[in-house]
């Protein structure tokens, strides 16, 4: 594999930042289409100063939208869904797959920004992104949909200390199916994705499983949240099933704290574990920084669905977390829960990108290689991007030339370390709820994760060796080795970025160094409110009353190749369980 010079690697980054012009025409095609969720929306600035609800859901993202829709459906109550960002319809680039790279490239870390993606960089120095828009990650991601591996439900819940419940698998499957009926599709696989599929099979990532949403060993095509016309479905679209009289969705409303009261001794009797605090509502601010209160009706609950950064951050801001840390920031301690913000994880991504010899189609993840069904071997995925090259830069790229096309393609194959076992922590660097908290993931700090990365990157290299990818190699002229005059022509990939060590087949130490030098995120961070440590088996905050956390912050392991399917399912699942509790009967599944 031929490595592209450092200046060309920089160019690849630059052209990715120029993507906005690529998708403008595609985005305009969806402008003006009414969103099904529009009738529920209200700007937080127009909300009353004080109002009462049965359920207050904080975070209109991957879990929050299906949760709110379910709680505002049959058997539910009056629901307020609070989202700190705007609506997806305000950002045309979100509507199509072509806007994916553009959205990430334009992520703005500024707290006051209205960009749908908020950038942040961990203390490890790895850039990352969190959603700031109704629909959460489902509104900005690559759209790949695949269920958790079956072992995840046993490893990630029942075995944790303090767990009293286990997953109700019939209801889990029914909740997955509810999501899939409304927002998933079978993608048309061709071009680059079809070649990767063949290369995975050549590399013995078998068997071939065809199209399936299940997590199975081998190579498969997963579902997508982009329909046949290329339009994105996000979790926000699930809100349409709610009863309009029961649901209100306040956008640009940032929750600043949960309002809690201490629980008296009389109220604690008969409960295990004994609650020490009870939620009575939340305080949130609108875009004008005016304060509002949403209060609970008797029997109501506050449910945090603000994600792996937002949920632990809000607990800490509310005085729920490690007492010494809270006291040092001047935050009154409501409940001393040492594990809030602890056990943070992010799945390391390492990939090989190259500029192919022929133009290829734009594709997000469709094909995935799963060497082991139980989540112990790295997952293999691929994508390709068509990106514009500024005229002033074309002449500086040796193999493009000044007369080259306006667009160039970048293809990538990546591996994702499952789990992971390496963990970090999150803490408040500011008491401003608009700012992202500080965190460190400690990527690849556990030897097991580093060993998996070594094997995963080696697997990627073997996939690239496959004959199915020969057509994407570029001709490279080199000297002959026979002593004769002339030169030989060989075909190699023009690598964008750090090339693999020449002895990658045998040198584990060199590959380990490669893993550490090129580690990046796949935006699958989780933890901070881990089940068994911060929440119980029903996702209630341990030692509290009327506070739950329902999102990926409760995970100690990522669920399969991609978490969005399971987080979406989780919102529906917990909503049905809460209605069941409310009425002391099994939930009635709507058609």
- pLDDT of 155-193, one tens digit each? 755 444 444 458 999 999 999 999 999 999 999 999 999
Which of the pair, 271 or 333, is modelled with greater confidence?
333
Q: Is 564 annotated as a binding residue?
A: yes
Task: Give yes or no for a cis peptide into 295 (omega within 30° of 0).
Answer: no
Token pair for residue 438?
A: 């500080």
Residue 556 has, within 13 A of its CA and on its CB side, a CA count of 20
Q: Is 255 annotated as a binding residue?
A: yes
Name residue, tokens 């997952």.
Answer: 379
194 backbone dihedrals φ, ψ, rounded to 5°: -65, -40
Task: Give yes or no for a cis peptide into 207 (omega within 30° of 0).
Answer: yes
Q: What is the reported pLDDT for 214?
A: 96
pLDDT mean over 413-429: 96
SS3 per residue for 5-44: CHHHHHHHHHHHHCHHHCCHHHHHCCCCCCCCCHHHEEEH
Rg (CA), the chain: 24
User: 108: pLDDT confidence band, cut at 50, 70 and 90?
Assistant: confident
Neighbours of 280 (CB within 10 A): 16
459: three-class secondary structure by DSSP: helix
Q: Is 133 annotated as a binding residue?
A: yes
Q: What is the reported pLDDT for 1?
A: 55
Angle, CA 385 vertex, CA 380 and CA 389 arms, to 5°: 145
Condensed to tens digits (0 to 9), the pLDDT of residues 51-93 reads 999 999 999 999 999 999 999 999 999 999 999 999 999 999 8
Q: Which domains does the chain show, CATH number per domain?
A: 48-387+406-458+516-585 (3.50.50.60)
Token pair for residue 193?
A: 């994705």
User: How far apart are alpha carbons 288 and 539 in whole angstroms?
Assistant: 33
- Active-site residue list: 524
CB 292 within 8 A of CB 58: no
Please check the confidence at residue 385 and state whether its pLDDT lies above 70.
Answer: yes
Neighbours of 182 (CB within 10 A): 16
Residue 227 has, within 13 A of its CA and on its CB side, a CA count of 10
User: How far apart are alpha carbons 387 and 537 in whole angstroms?
Assistant: 46
User: How far apart are alpha carbons 56 and 185 in whole angstroms?
Assistant: 31
Please check the confidence at residue 125 and state whether its pLDDT lies above 80.
Answer: yes
pLDDT mean over 550-579: 97
80: three-class secondary structure by DSSP: strand
Please check the confidence at residue 261 and state whether its pLDDT lies above 80.
Answer: yes
Name residue, tokens 């490669």.
Answer: 514
245 Cβ partners below 8 Å, 6+ apart? none
Q: How far is CA 82 from the centre of its chain?
A: 19
Token pair for residue 277?
A: 């605090």
Please check the confidence at residue 400 and state whether its pLDDT lies above 70.
Answer: no
What share of the chain has pLDDT > 70, as a percent? Answer: 83
CB 340 within 8 A of CB 482: no
Residue 549 bridge partners (DSSP) = 304
User: How far apart are alpha carbons 118 and 253 in whole angstroms?
Assistant: 16
Q: What is the DSSP letter of 190?
A: -
Q: What is the reported pLDDT for 575?
A: 98
User: Would you list the DSSP string of 236-248?
Assistant: GGGGGGS-TTTEE
User: 227: pLDDT confidence band, cut at 50, 70 and 90?
Assistant: very high
Q: What is the reported pLDDT for 573?
A: 98
CB 354 within 8 A of CB 473: no
CA end-to-end distance (rounded Å), the chain: 54
Please check the confidence at residue 480 and state whether its pLDDT lies above 70.
Answer: no
439: three-class secondary structure by DSSP: strand
Q: Is 216 annotated as a binding residue?
A: no
Please check the confidence at residue 19 and state whether its pLDDT lies above 50.
Answer: no
Please check the confidence at residue 194 and state whether its pLDDT lies above 90.
Answer: yes
User: Would you list the DSSP string of 125-185?
Assistant: S-EEEEE-BTTGGGGTS--EE-PPPHHHHIIIIITSTT------HHHHHHHHHHHHHHH-B
Least confident of 33-42, 334-343, 418-427: 33-42
465: three-class secondary structure by DSSP: coil
Least confident of 9-23, 34-48, 65-79: 9-23
User: How far apart are alpha carbons 549 and 531 in whole angstroms?
Assistant: 9
What share of the chain has pLDDT > 90, as a percent? Answer: 71
Condensed to tens digits (0 to 9), the pLDDT of residues 555-569 reads 999 999 999 999 999
Task: Tell which residue, 316, 313, 318, 253, has the closest CA to residue 289.
Answer: 253
Query: Mean pLDDT in the chain?
Result: 86
User: How far apart are alpha carbons 439 and 549 in whole angstroms?
Assistant: 19
E strands, 305-459, in order: 320-321, 335-336, 342-345, 348-355, 367-370, 379-388, 407-416, 424-427, 438-440
Please check the confidence at residue 312 and state whether its pLDDT lies above 50.
Answer: yes
Q: What is the reported pLDDT for 264?
A: 67
Q: What is the reported pLDDT for 16?
A: 39
312 Cβ partners below 8 Å, 6+ apart? 321, 340, 341, 426, 437, 528, 529, 534, 553
Residue 294 bridge partners (DSSP) = 51, 282
User: 8: pLDDT confidence band, cut at 50, 70 and 90?
Assistant: very low
CB 209 within 8 A of CB 216: yes
Sign of the CA dihedral 237, 136, 364, 415?
negative
Q: Is 249 annotated as a binding residue?
A: no
Please check the confidence at residue 333 and state whether its pLDDT lies above 90.
Answer: yes
């Amino acid at each position: 594999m031929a490595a592209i010079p450092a200046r060309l690697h920089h160019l690849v980054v630059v052209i990715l930042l120029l993507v906005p012009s690529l998708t403008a025409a595609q985005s305009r095609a969806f402008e003006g289409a009414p969103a099904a969720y529009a009738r529920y929306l209200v700007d937080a600035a127009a909300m009353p100063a004080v109002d009462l609800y049965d359920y207050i859901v904080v975070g209109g993202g991957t879990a929050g939208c299906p949760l709110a829709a379910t709680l505002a459906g049959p058997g539910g109550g009056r629901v307020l869904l609070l989202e700190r960002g705007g609506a997806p319809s305000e950002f045309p680039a979100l509507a199509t797959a072509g806007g994916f790279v553009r959205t990430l490239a334009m992520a703005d870390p500024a707290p006051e920004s209205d960009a749908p993606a908020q950038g942040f960089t961990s203390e490890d120095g790895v850039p990352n992104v969190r959603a700031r828009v109704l629909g959460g990650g489902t509104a900005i991601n690559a759209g790949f949909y695949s269920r958790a591996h079956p072992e995840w439900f046993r490893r990630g819940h029942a075995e944790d200390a303090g767990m009293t419940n286990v997953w109700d698998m019939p209801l889990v499957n029914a909740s997955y199916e509810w999501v899939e009926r409304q927002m998933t599709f079978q993608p048309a696989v061709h071009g680059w994705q079809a070649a990767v599929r063949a290369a995975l099979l050549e590399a013995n990532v078998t068997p071939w499983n065809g199209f399936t949403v299940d997590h199975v060993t081998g190579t498969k095509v997963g579902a997508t949240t982009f329909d046949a016309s290329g339009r994105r479905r996000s979790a926000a679209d699930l809100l349409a099933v709610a009863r309009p009289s029961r649901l209100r969705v306040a956008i640009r409303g940032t929750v600043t704290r949960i309002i809690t009261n201490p629980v008296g001794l009389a109220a604690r009797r008969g409960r295990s574990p004994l609650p020490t605090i009870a939620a009575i509502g939340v305080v949130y601010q609108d875009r004008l920084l005016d304060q509002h209160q949403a209060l609970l009706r008797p029997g109501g609950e506050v449910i945090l669905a603000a994600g792996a950064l937002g949920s632990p951050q809000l607990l800490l801001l509310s005085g729920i977390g490690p007492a010494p840390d809270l006291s040092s920031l001047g935050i009154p301690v409501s409940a001393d829960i040492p594990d809030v913000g602890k056990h943070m994880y992010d799945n390391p991504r390492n990939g090989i990108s190259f500029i192919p010899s022929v133009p290829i189609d734009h594709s997000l993840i469709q094909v995935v290689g799963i060497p082991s069904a139980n989540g112990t071997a790295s997952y293999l995925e691929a994508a390709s991007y068509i990106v514009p090259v500024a005229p002033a830069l074309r002449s500086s790229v040796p193999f493009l030339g000044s007369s080259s096309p306006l667009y160039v393609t970048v293809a990538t194959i990546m591996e994702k370390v499952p789990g992971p076992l390496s963990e970090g922590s999150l803490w408040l660097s500011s008491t401003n709820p608009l700012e992202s908290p500080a965190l460190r993931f400690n990527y690849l700090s556990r030897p097991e994760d580093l060993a998996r990365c070594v094997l995963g990157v080696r697997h990627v290299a073997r996939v690239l060796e496959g004959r199915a990818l020969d057509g994407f190699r570029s001709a490279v002229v080199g000297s002959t080795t026979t002593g004769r005059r002339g030169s030989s022509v060989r075909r190699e990939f023009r690598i964008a970025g750090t090339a693999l060590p020449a002895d990658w087949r045998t040198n584990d130490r060199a590959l380990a160094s490669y893993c550490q030098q090129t580690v990046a995120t796949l935006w699958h961070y989780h933890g901070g409110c881990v089940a068994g440590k911060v929440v119980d088996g029903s996702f209630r905050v341990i030692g509290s009353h009327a506070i739950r956390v329902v999102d990926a912050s409760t995970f100690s392991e990522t669920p399969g190749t991609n978490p969005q399917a399971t987080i979406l399912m989780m919102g529906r699942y917990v909503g049905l369980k809460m209605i069941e509790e409310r009425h002391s009967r099994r939930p009635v599944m709507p058609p």
